[in-house]
Chains A and B, each alone.
Chain A
Amino acid sequence: MFRKILIANRGEIAVRIINTAREMGIKTVTVYSDFDEYSLYTKLSDESYHIGESPASKSYLMADKIIETAKISGAEAIHPGYGFLSERSFFAKLCSDNGIEFIGPDHNAIELLGSKTDAKTLAINNKVPVVPGSGKPLTDISEIRKIAKEVGYPVLIKASAGGGGKGMRIVRSENEIEEALRIARSEAKSSFGDDSIFVEKYIDVPRHIEFQILADKHGNVIHLGERECSMQRRHQKIIEETPSVIVNEELRNEMGECAKRLVKASGYSNAGTVEFIVDRNNKFYFLEVNTRLQVEHPITEIRTGLDLVREQLKIAWGEKLDLEQEDIEFRGSVIECRICAEDSENNFIPSTGKITNINKVLGSGMREDTGIEQGDTVSVFYDPMIAKLISYGKDRLSAINRMKRALSQYKIDGIKTNISFLLDLLESPEFIDGNYHTQFIESKFLERLKAKDRPDELTSRALALAAALRAENKKPRQSINGTSEYSHWASKRTENLR
């Protein structure tokens, strides 16, 4: 096994990787920007090297600098975590060119799967369903009509040069298509100077369901079940769970086999995630492959009892998977909530500042992955996610109740967080029933939040008393000898503690 690895990342995922490496007796090298000089993950690793300024483009994205650090420190492999350089094929290639093992797939597989059109073609060739549609830009109206009819309404028409919703139209029936095409093409023409159009089936209220796979370098591939990631706001996942309430064993096997076929065909090794969208009739379509460890990987770890980072390291070292598909046992129900430093009541603007206090009670059945501690500052430089809470339950309801319990006991001060928003989501009837989709928060939920519940009478009285007592204790009082009673009282207390 590797003796020393470098982690080309920061924050909670760096901590996560360090933990497994330590358990395996592997030394860890971390790199840090100006901002992260004494961040938790650096302190937990064996060695740390400064690589640049706080903005990621001047530190964590500087591939050459990271390779150089790996060489100086004698690290044999690089774990890229997620984000930053993790899905950049040039970085994987740079590693191998320098004789450093990239803990992830081969650069060719990253490149192939990173291209949406190549990945889609690969899927089609391997009998993995994709969203049906033209697959190529069209200009002939009768041909567009024909394909629309084939895939079935509603359809989505979009300008081939489009982006940002421009030149995009949902067409719900055949008699709307003429008009919709006319508008879409003129918008496309005026915005992009190109009036060719893609047409594909429109998936209304889709779910986002992904499969975790593991592939070794000897052609063995297994899947570790699904993750339901439909609770999103602006394409950012907020709550993930496994199993998905809509996936039964038959669907799991079917989707899992598709994921395995696709990954195998791409010449992939290491951990990866195949994402699907699922329509209201439980028909699924391939979306894309994430060629790295996912943020939400812990829910799969808890449900399968596996350590995905350990599996990644073993695969990168060249070991064969010691598990077959039949060996994978799924246990209970697991939920992850992402705690973010943001103001949920004020358009989710990121909240920055010094964390003056953290108190939490995790207790049985809870896991927390975090990279921050009391006294740390949350900055504008990096992702606002500060912690992931993961709850396990023998069934879904126990997992939900446990998560609610832990969130309500999680105190963090100095910055604003989305904890209250997460609790609202967990308490929504749609979540409780498992009846939600990727547009749920934006189309329904945010509106509902505006009518905020008032605290009950007892809570109000307690809040009022607490505020009064705090005000009472905040007052600077002059005592006869001129020192303030407050500090006098404080020093007395310290004496008693000694």
Chain B
Amino acid sequence: MKKYFISIDCAEPKIEVNLNGLNSSLIDGIESKYSYKIINDNVMVLRMDNLNFYFDFNSEGNEYLQIGLNGRVYDVDCKSDLDVLIEKMSGNKTDGKAVKEIKSPMPGIIKKVNVASGQDVAKGEVLLVLEAMKMENEIKAIVDCKIKKVNVEQMSSVEKNELLIILE
């Protein structure tokens, strides 16, 4: 079951969407049947409980995904449960304390190591690529920082919570 957390126009709390895989979803606890078609990168038609929604997407150059519906545009922030986990693990949600360690958010294989000890990295830079459940997840620097030590190498398999990188 795939889980996503969505915020529309920065509204809180986020809407929780569970995709069950059988064209059925649980949105904030309400079950809906759906079908959909992606027409192109910008256009999708969604039929949710037989109600039609003809969306268009605009993501280039914007902080949020912009979804258009009936002439109105909404700023939408969408994170998967893994994104949320990665954020937590890499310290995005720390309460002001400096991040010193980056741990693996889930078991998987390190597909790529982009940094080395002693390297300065800027916020947003991709440090590692972790493959888990056949999906590649980029682990990014949350703040400008300096790498003290990289504990893993390419193709090493890691467990959940395993220490990946130590920061100075």
Contact with A along B16-33 (1 / 0, CB 8 A): 010100000101101010
In the complex, the answer to whether A464 meets B134 with C-beta atoms within 8 Å is no
Also in contact, A468 and B134, with CB within 8 A (given A461-B27, A463-B8):
no
Inter-chain CA distance A468–B20, complex, in Å, is 12
**Interface mask (B57-98 → A, CB under 8 Å = 1, otherwise 0):** 110110001011111111010101000000000000000000
B-contacting residues, A441-493, CB 8 Å: 452, 454-455, 458-473, 475-479
Q: Which B residues are CB-close (under 8 A) to A98?
A: none
Chain A residue contacts of B11, Cβ below 8 A: 454, 460
> Contacting B15 at CB < 8 Å: which of A407, A452, A464, A470?
A464
Distance of A463 Cα from B6 Cα, bound (Å): 9
**In whole Å, how far is B62's beta carbon from the nearest beta carbon of chain A?**
9
Is A423 on the interface with B (CB-CB < 8 A)? yes
- Chief secondary structure at chain B's binding surface: strand
Question: Are A469 and B19 closer than 8 Å at their CB atoms?
Answer: yes
In the complex, which residues of chain A have a beta carbon less than 8 angstroms from the beta carbon of B4?
464, 467-468, 471-472
A411 in contact (CB, < 8 A): yes
Query: Which of B4-55 touch A at CB < 8 Å?
Result: 4, 6, 8-9, 11, 15, 17, 19, 25, 27-28, 30, 32, 34, 36, 38, 40-44, 46, 48, 51, 53-55
Distance in Å: Cβ of A413 to nearest Cβ of chain B: 4
A410-425: CB near B (< 8 Å → 1, else 0) gives 1101101001100100
Chain A: interface size category: 35 or more
Q: Is A356 an interface residue (CB 8 A)?
A: yes
A353 close to chain B: CB less than 8 A: yes
Please report whether the interface of chain A is mostly helix, strand, loop or mixed according to DSSP: helix
**Contacts of A464 on B, CB cut-off 8 Å?**
4, 6, 8, 15, 17, 27, 76, 78
The chain B residue with its CB closest to the CB of A415 is B58
Asked whether A408 and B71 contact (CB < 8 A) given A413-B56, A454-B9, A454-B11, the answer is yes
Number of B interface residues, CB 8 Å?
Answer: 49
Instruction: Say whether A413 contacts B68, CB under 8 Å.
Output: yes
What is the bound-complex CA distance between A471 and B77, given in angstroms?
Answer: 11
Q: Which residues of B contact A248 (CB under 8 A)?
A: none
Question: In the complex the two chains form, what is the Cα distance from A286 to B32 in whole Å?
Answer: 61
Once the chains bind, are A466 and B71 in contact (CB under 8 Å)? Answer: no
B48–chain A nearest beta-carbon distance, Å = 5
B116 to chain A, nearest CB (A): 25
Whether B38 lies near A466 (C-beta < 8 A) is no
Q: How many angstroms from the CA of A454 to the CA of B75 in the assembled complex?
A: 11
Contact A465 B17, CB 8 Å, known A413-B56, A460-B8: yes
Bound-state CA distance A476–B70 (Å) is 30
> CB-CB < 8 A to A409: which residues of B?
70-71
How far is B131's CA from A469's CA once the two chains are assembled, in angstroms?
A: 21
Complex interface residues of chain A between 332 and 389 (CB less than 8 A to chain B): 353, 356-357, 359
Contact of B67 among A416, A458, A466 (CB under 8 A): A466
Are B34 and A465 in touch, CB under 8 angstroms?
yes
Interchain CB contact under 8 A, A463 and B69: yes
Contacts A353-B60, A357-B40; is A468 near B32 (CB within 8 Å)? no
Does B73 lie within 8 Å of A420, measured CB to CB? yes
Contact of A471 among B15, B54, B61, B80 (CB under 8 A): B80
Q: Which residues of A contact B27 (CB under 8 A)?
A: 461, 464-465
Residues of B within 8 A of A (CB): 2, 4, 6, 8-9, 11, 15, 17, 19, 25, 27-28, 30, 32, 34, 36, 38, 40-44, 46, 48, 51, 53-58, 60-61, 65, 67-74, 76, 78, 80, 131, 134-136
20 residue pairs bridging A and B, Cβ less than 8 Å apart? A356-B60, A357-B43, A357-B56, A409-B71, A413-B56, A413-B58, A420-B72, A454-B8, A454-B11, A455-B74, A460-B8, A462-B69, A463-B8, A465-B27, A466-B67, A467-B4, A469-B44, A471-B4, A476-B136, A478-B134
Give A contacts to B, CB under 8 Å: 353, 356-357, 359, 404, 407-411, 413-414, 416, 419-420, 423, 452, 454-455, 458-473, 475-479
Given contact pairs A461-B30, A468-B6, enumerate 10 new A-B contacts (beta carbons under 8 Å): A356-B42, A409-B70, A416-B73, A455-B8, A455-B74, A459-B69, A461-B28, A463-B67, A463-B76, A470-B44
